[in-house]
């Protein structure tokens, strides 16, 4: 069996490895380290949790032990897709380089530029960065990449998922053509293969496991969840998650719960906290200091449940994660392998459970096609009662039967349409005179064709049938609903009477 002492590593690096408690390398380490030590490009393909980080960290430290860094010109560059993975790589360098006089700098978002600029100005041997922050420093004129001797791309497939491939190509173009490139990925998508063919020179291909396979030490299961009511689907799903956790009992010492969306991460975390579970969220929208505190608490064992988006699916090295719960079926099948790879690490056993809605069955089929095996179906610990379809309410129900609908025109007393009046009625007619008789009882006669008739009769008919509906409360008097009589009574002025008399006699 191969040991680290057989790999021709620097003696000071071997001493650090021994102090860390390691003696035997993993398969990916045993195959990749010899090629890297002789200066060859390496293309490493292995499932998560197989020790890929040490596969490039150990040979880099041995090669960089000779030489000295210059200001703003790092000697090596490690690109990582997420801040958490970059911080974890930095911790590995600290562990294995404690007997070497090498310097490093960590360039990630959420941290002040000023402190990072100070480290770069002094000169660093190892620069660990995320692509976005690295290009920010370069565009500000604080960083030169012409002195890079070794370049590492870690979790390349995750870079592809996060849209970093254009940035990676630009960074490659800024480094010397004679650099040594170490390229590690869990899967080989066509786009990843195109980049390796472009930027790697005759690489040694190291593949220690079939692409996108889950560890055999992980027990997998999926619960098929069909919500009884669509409007309560989210709350019922969270109830099912709590029931799954409770069913595992003491065997679930800690767990990572993965959600597809950041908003669901927050909602699930708040729900678990509400019901007394020790939980905290982690995703890309949180402040970096909060993300660091949450991860430190989970690693230390003071936090039991970590609710995460896929930002935590890659590279998080927490050796003793007992369970992984997939609250959602991942939309990308490869993410399933990385998620469940957080448990069952370093030969330990682990358990991964997933909740699948009917709308996620297509994604589930994609996952099973990728791992080339059917995930066992697990019985749900919660029984959901489907909604009743009976028309009559159950006994004891407070629901009252619906009243029969009445005919619209009869119940509401809606009058039939009347033809429009040809003349406008005088404004002095009272509304109360019209409303004294209900609308149903007033005659609705069609006005006959216009025939010569006395003006007085026409006015009387117009007053009866087409009186305008004035608003109440305008001080108008009630005349009993009959025809209004217009006149001056007994106070007729004499000159008016005289004029009528003259017309009659004339």
* Distance separating alpha carbons of residues 133 and 167, to the nearest angstrom: 11
Comparing 101-105, 292-296, 311-315, 341-345, the range with the smallest average pLDDT is: 311-315
CB-based burial, 118-147: b 16+ in 10 Å, e otherwise: ebbeebbbbbbbbbebbbbbeeeeebebeb
Confidence of residue 431 (pLDDT cuts 50, 70, 90): very low
pLDDT at 432: 43
Average pLDDT, the chain: 80
pLDDT at 2: 82
* Distance separating alpha carbons of residues 59 and 62, to the nearest angstrom: 5
Confidence of residue 212 (pLDDT cuts 50, 70, 90): low
**4-207 is classed CATH 3.40.50.300:** yes
Q: Which two tokens stand for residue 505?
A: 């006699």
Return the SS3 of 432.
helix
Closest among 309, 363, 370 to 334, alpha carbons compared: 370
Mean of pLDDT values over 445-454? 52
Share of the chain above pLDDT 90, in %: 47
Confidence of residue 338 (pLDDT cuts 50, 70, 90): confident
Q: Which two tokens stand for residue 359?
A: 């709308």
Can you tell me which residue has the tokens 């045993």?
A: 30
pLDDT in tens, 22-40: 889 988 999 999 999 999 9
| Residue 456 pLDDT exceeds 90 | no
Can you tell me which residue has the tokens 């800024």?
A: 174
Residues 6+ apart with CB under 8 A from 3: 23, 24, 25
Closest among 334, 377, 35, 390 to 188, alpha carbons compared: 334
Share of the chain above pLDDT 70, in %: 73
pLDDT at 304: 95
- 218-371 folds as Rossmann fold (3.40.50)
User: Hey, where are the domains in the chain?
Assistant: 4-207, 218-371
pLDDT at 38: 94
Query: H/E element holding 43?
Result: strand 42-45
| Residue 68 pLDDT exceeds 90 | no
pLDDT at 471: 45
Confidence of residue 103 (pLDDT cuts 50, 70, 90): very high
Question: How are beta strands 180-185 and 150-153 bridged, if at all?
Answer: parallel
| Residue 186 pLDDT exceeds 90 | no
CB 72 within 8 A of CB 143: yes
pLDDT in tens, 271-291: 999 999 999 999 878 887 888
List C-alpha distances in Å: 70 to 67, 73, 135, 136: 10, 5, 19, 20
More confident residue, 314 or 244: 244
Return the SS3 of 181.
strand
Mean of pLDDT values over 441-447? 49
Q: What's the whole-model pTM score?
A: 0.63
Domains 4-207 and 218-371 share a fold: yes
Closest among 244, 315, 235, 302 to 270, alpha carbons compared: 235
More confident residue, 428 or 193: 193
Residues 6+ apart with CB under 8 A from 142: 72, 117, 120, 121
Comparing 75-89, 126-140, 382-396, the range with the smallest average pLDDT is: 382-396
* Distance separating alpha carbons of residues 158 and 188, to the nearest angstrom: 11
């Amino acid at each position: 069996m191969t040991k680290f002492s057989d790999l021709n590593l620097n003696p000071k690096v071997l001493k650090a490895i021994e102090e860390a408690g390691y003696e035997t390398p993993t398969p990916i380490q045993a195959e990749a380290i010899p090629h890297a030590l002789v200066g060859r490009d390496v293309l490493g393909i292995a499932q998560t949790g197989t020790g890929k980080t040490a596969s490039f960290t150990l040979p880099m430290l041995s090669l960089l032990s000779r030489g000295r860094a210059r200001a703003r010109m790092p000697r090596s560059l490690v690109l990582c897709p997420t801040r958490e993975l970059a911080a974890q790589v930095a911790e590995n360098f600290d562990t294995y380089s404690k007997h070497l006089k090498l310097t490093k700098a960590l360039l990630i978002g959420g941290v002040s530029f000023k402190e990072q600029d100070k480290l770069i100005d002094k000169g660093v041997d190892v620069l660990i960065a995320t692509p976005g922050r690295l290009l920010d420093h370069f565009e500000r004129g604080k960083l030169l990449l012409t002195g890079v001797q070794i370049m590492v791309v870690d979790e390349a497939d995750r870079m592809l998922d996060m849209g970093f491939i254009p940035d990676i190509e630009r960074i490659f173009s800024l480094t010397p053509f004679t650099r040594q490139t170490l390229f590690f990925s869990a899967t080989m998508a066509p786009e990843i293969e195109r980049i390796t063919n472009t930027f790697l020179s005759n690489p040694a291909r190291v593949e220690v496991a079939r692409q996108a396979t889950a560890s055999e030490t992980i027990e997998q299961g999926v619960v098929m969840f069909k919500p009884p009511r669509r409007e309560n689907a989210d709350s019922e799903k969270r109830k099912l998650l709590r029931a799954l956790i409770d069913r595992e009992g003491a065997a679930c010492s800690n767990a990572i719960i993965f959600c597809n969306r950041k908003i669901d991460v927050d909602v699930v975390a708040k729900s678990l906290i509400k019901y007394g579970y020790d939980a905290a969220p982690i995703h890309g929208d949180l402040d970096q200091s909060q993300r660091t505190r949450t991860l430190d608490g989970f690693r230390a064992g003071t936090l039991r449940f970590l609710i995460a988006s896929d930002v935590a699916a890659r590279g998080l090295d927490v050796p003793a994660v007992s369970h992984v719960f997939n609250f959602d079926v991942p939309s990308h099948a490869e993410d399933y392998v990385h998620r469940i790879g957080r448990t069952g690490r370093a030969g330990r056993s682990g358990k991964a459970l997933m909740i699948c809605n009917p709308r996620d069955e297509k994604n589930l089929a994609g996952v099973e096609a990728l791992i080339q095996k059917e995930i066992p179906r697990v019985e749900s610990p919660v029984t959901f009662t489907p909604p009743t379809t009976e028309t009559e309410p159950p006994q004891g129900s407070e629901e009252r039967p619906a009243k029969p609908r009445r005919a619209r025109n009869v119940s509401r007393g809606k009058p039939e349409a009347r033809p429009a009046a040809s003349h406008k009625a005088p404004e002095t007619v009272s509304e109360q005179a019209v409303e004294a008789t209900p609308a149903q009882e007033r005659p609705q006669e069609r006005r006959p064709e216009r025939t010569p008739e006395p003006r007085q009769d026409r006015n009387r008919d117009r007053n009866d049938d087409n009186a305008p509906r004035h608003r109440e409360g305008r001080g108008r008097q009630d005349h009993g609903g009959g025809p209004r009589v217009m006149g001056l009574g007994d106070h007729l002025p004499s000159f008016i009477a005289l004029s009528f008399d003259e017309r009659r006699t004339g």
